[in-house]
Amino acid sequence: MSRASGADDRLLSSATPELRDKSDRPRKAMVCPTSILLILLAGFAGGVMYLFGIQFAAGDVYPEYSSLRTDPAGTKLLFDSLARLPGVTTARNYLPLDVLGENSGAVFLLGLNPGSFGEDDEGLQRIERLARRGNRVIAAMAAPEEYKELMALALDRAWHVRFGADSNRKHVHKLYFTMAKDWNVLDRVGEKMLAIERDFGKGSVVLFAESDDFTNGSTVVADRLEMVSMAIGASSRIVFDEQHLGIAESGSFVGLARRFRLTGLALGLGICAALFLWRSASGFPPTAGARDVPLSGRTSFAGLLTLLRRHVPPGELASTCWQEWLSANRRTLAPERLERAAAIAGRAPNRPLEAMREMHAVLSKKETQT
């Protein structure tokens, strides 16, 4: 039986390559479209990241007067230039002014809306508290949508400052201060006061009617650097506030990842997750399953016949069967019958089936009593 199983194994192994080829065809057919889809997705993701990189490099996604913006309307050039000066440190603030821990720095609040700034009592109080801790707060206004008389009641009531608006398109300075009681004038054009300063406790507050002196465009021209230096004063620690422009830290996981520069790790984890999902996902549309191919295996009887054909010649089949039977049944029959059966087995070597029948007749014949 071991030889029969070996023959069966050889039969199965001979059929395995064809069956393996048939079972691998759907997989190979699925791998090709999946690879093309993966390449297309990678190209699409690369294109999107490239476009986002261009937009972020230009700074268009950030508001005007932000120190993260690199076009003429931003202030990144001033931020980077100040950071290169010896003994000067720069930073950005994304938190509310109430939690800002500065005590002797220059804090820039650029691009403020003059209408809301002049009506916000709490905002003026926050700036005043920040200045009283020893900071120099520079608050510069943005150009309003309409140049009209601004009420600014809170600004007038708290700091005795009033805005003026010039609607003449030919005039350069359209927003200015008309009244600044107890304030020192730093810059003016004719009757228009453009920059004023006042001490609050250990620090001071500087108000600019315009923020254009601090933009990238103005820094490149370098025609208002004297006013920038006057605004900073003697401070060596300079903070650009981004929170009032809408760029704030919310304490989220993404914010922490950006703070500790873990974006690369997050990107790597995202790629691993995408590859795992791609490997686990099934193809669309689902590929048809491989049909079961019936194996033409052999039974144990067929294996026995194969063994007999290989090891017993046809001429010796009858005598071999007789010897096997005789080894177990010698004592059950008379010697005369055994001799007759042995003679039949050796007499017809080329006709084993007929010989076996004759021997069976001799051995199974009943003895007659006399």
Q: Give the C-alpha distances (Å, rounded to integers) separating 194 from 54, 213, 234.
A: 36, 11, 21
* Whole-number Å distance between alpha carbons of 152 and 119: 5
- Closest Cα partner for 137 from 161, 105, 160, 184? 105
Of the pLDDT bands very low, low, confident and very high (cuts 50, 70, 90), residue 366 is low
CA distances (Å), origin 189, targets 209, 298, 345? 12, 109, 139
Mean pLDDT of 147-153: 71
Domain ranges of the chain: 76-246, 312-364
Per-residue pLDDT of 86-132, as tens digits, reads: 999 999 999 999 889 888 999 999 999 998 898 889 999 999 999 99
Cα-Cα end-to-end distance for the chain:
48
* Architecture of the domain made up of 76-246: 3-Layer(aba) Sandwich (3.40)
pLDDT of residue 115: 86
The pLDDT of residue 326: 80
Contact 138, 239 (CB under 8 A): no
Q: Is the pLDDT confidence value at 17 over 50?
A: no
Q: Which residue has the higher pLDDT, 4 or 269?
A: 269
Which has more pLDDT, 11 or 308?
A: 308
Least confident of 87-96, 191-200, 281-290: 281-290
Residue recorded with tokens 């009420």? 151
Strands 106-112 and 136-141: parallel
Chain centroid to CA 111: how far? 35
Mean pLDDT for the chain? 80
Looking at residue 29, its pLDDT comes to: 47
What DSSP state is assigned to residue 333? S
